[in-house]
Amino acid sequence: MTPAPYYPADPRNRTRPWDENRYRADGERLLREGRLGCFVVAGGQGSRLGFEGPKGCYPAGPVTGKSLFAIFAEQILAASKHYRRPIPWYIMTSPLNHAPTVEFFERHAYFGLNQDDVSFFAQGVMPSIDRATGRVLLASKHEVATNPDGHGGSLKALFVSGALDDMRARGVEHISYFQVDNPLVKCVDPVFLGLHATAPDSSGEMSSKMLPKRDPAERVGVFAKLDGKLGMVEYSDLPEKLASKRESDGRLTFNAGNPAIHLLGWRFVERLNSDPAFSLPFHRADKKVPCIDPETGANIDPAEPNAVKLERFVFDALPLAERSIILETDRTTEFAPIKNASGEDSSESSRRIQTERNAAWLELHGVQIPRTPQGEPDCVIEISPLTACSPEDLTDLPDRIQRGAKVAL
C-alpha cells in the first residue's frame, strides 16, 4: 500500500505544478456543449442527524434556513445560465424517502429549475439480517425488513432506472457525483471536470477529490494505491501505525481523506453494467432495525443494534477504472457536511465553515469582516449560489459587515 498521488489544490505547488487554466477551459467547453449531468445520492436514512424526513430537506443555509436541495438546485440553475445549457440533475432516493422527496420539489416549484431536467429514482434495498440468528428480519407479517443498499448501489440504479439512457439521449458524458449532506460541494466544477476528462493520467472513468486529513484519528477513508491500483481504505481498516505515519515535512503519509466527491464517466457506468456479473462488494454495518417477533408478531423497537445491514460503497469502483486522478480541495472551500445533531460535522459546524468561506470571498473584495480574538468571523454570512458561485461573481458589496450581523447575499 502506497500513498495516492494527487493534483495539489495550488497549481503552483512545486512538487506537482499543473495548468489550471487549461483544464478550466476544457471543463468549460464541455459544460457549454452540455456534457455534464449532476447526481446526488440522497437515499441515506440520516438517522445520526435525528431529522424526520429526507436529509436533503434539512435547513442548511446559515441565515435563510434554505434546504440542502435548494442550495444544490441554485448552483445548478446558476451554472446552467452561465454556460447556456441545461444541466440535468438526477436524484437518487430510497424507497423510504422517495415520495416525500418528490413532494418537496413539487412544493418548491423545483427551485426554479425546469422540471424536465430533474429526475428522481429510488435505489435498491437489501434484506436486514438478525444479528443473533442470521435470519432475515420481518418488518411486518408479510414483509421483509430492508435497508437501502448503500451509495454504491447508485451505479446499478443509474442503469436500471433509465437515467443512463436519459443521459445518452441528452449527450451527457460525465456525471458529477456528490452526497446530500455537504452544502459547500461544488456541484459544477469546470477545473475538476477538465482534469477528469482530459488529463493524460485520467481515463475519464472515475475521478475523486481529496481533503488532507485533520489528524491521524479522523474517521474518513483514505485514498491509496494497492497493488498499483487506486482505491480507498476505510479508516477502520487502516492500521494505526500507517494512519499516524508521517513524511519528513510532517505531513501524514496517508493524508488523502475522502470528501465523497467524484466524477464518473457515462461510458464507465455503462461498461460496468454491461457485465451481468458486475457487483460491488458488500460491507457490513450493525444497526438498529425495527422489526416484528416472528413467533408472536409483536413489534420490536430495538434499543441496541439488532441487525446486520449490507451496503455497497461507490468508491469500491475506483480500482475498476483504468486510470483515475485525484484533485486536492480544502475544508473551508468545499466541505461543510451536516451529519450529526451536534459537535463535529453538525449543522452548527457547517454554519461556521460556510460563514468562513463566505467571509474569505468578501475579504478578497476588501469588505471588512468583524472577527473574534480567535480569528473567527463574528457574524453569519450566507451567499446564494444565484448571487455568486465563486468570489469573482460578487458585485455591489458593502464596505463592512457589522459585528453580530446576519447577512444573506
Q: Which of residues 271-300 bind ligand UD1 (CB under 6 A)?
A: none
Q: Which of residues 331-390 bind ligand UD1 (CB under 6 A)?
A: 337, 339
Total site size for ligand UD1, rule CB under 6 A = 23
The label of the residue with cell 467547453 reads 29
Return the number of the residue (27 or 150) whose C-beta is nearest ligand UD1. Answer: 150
Q: Can residue 3 be called a binding residue for ligand UD1 (CB under 6 A)?
A: no
Residue nearest to ligand UD1 (CB): 44
The piece of 13-21, 256-264, 369-377, 389-397 that touches ligand UD1 (CB under 6 A) is 256-264
CA–CA dist 63, 129 (Å, integer):
42
* Phi, then psi, of 340 in degrees rounded to 5: -115, 160
Return the number of the residue (146 or 202) whose C-beta is nearest ligand UD1. Answer: 146
Q: Which of residues 106-165 bind ligand UD1 (CB under 6 A)?
A: 123, 148-151
CA–CA dist 346, 235 (Å, integer):
20
DSSP 186-218: -SS-HHHHHHHHH-TT--SSEEEEEEE-SSTT-
Return the number of the residue (43 or 61) whose C-beta is nearest ligand UD1. Answer: 43
Shortest Å, Cβ 225 to ligand UD1:
17
Query: Between 190-198 and 20-32, two packed helices, what is the crossing angle to 10 degrees?
Result: 90
C-alpha cell at 229: 491500483
C-alpha cell at 87: 444541466
Can you give the length of the chain in residues?
Answer: 409
Shortest Å, Cβ 8 to ligand UD1:
20
Shortest Å, Cβ 349 to ligand UD1:
13
Binding mask 78-107 for ligand UD1 (x = CB under 6 A): --------------x---------------
177: nearest Cα among 277, 283, 317: 317
Q: Can residue 209 be called a binding residue for ligand UD1 (CB under 6 A)?
A: no
Q: Which of residues 216-235 bind ligand UD1 (CB under 6 A)?
A: 220-221
Q: Can residue 213 be called a binding residue for ligand UD1 (CB under 6 A)?
A: no
Shortest Å, Cβ 260 to ligand UD1:
4
DSSP 129-196: EETTT-PBPEEETTEE-EEE--GGGHHHHHHHTTHHHHHHHHT--EEEEEETT-TT--SS-HHHHHHH
Residue 86, Cβ neighbours under 10 Å: how many?
18
Shortest Å, Cβ 215 to ligand UD1:
14
From the list 101, 161, 176, 258, which residue makes contact with ligand UD1 (rule: CB under 6 A)? Answer: 258
Q: Are 191 and 307 in contact (CB under 8 A)?
A: no
Residues that bind ligand UD1 (CB under 6 A): 41-44, 55, 92, 123, 148-151, 179-181, 220-221, 258-260, 311, 313, 337, 339
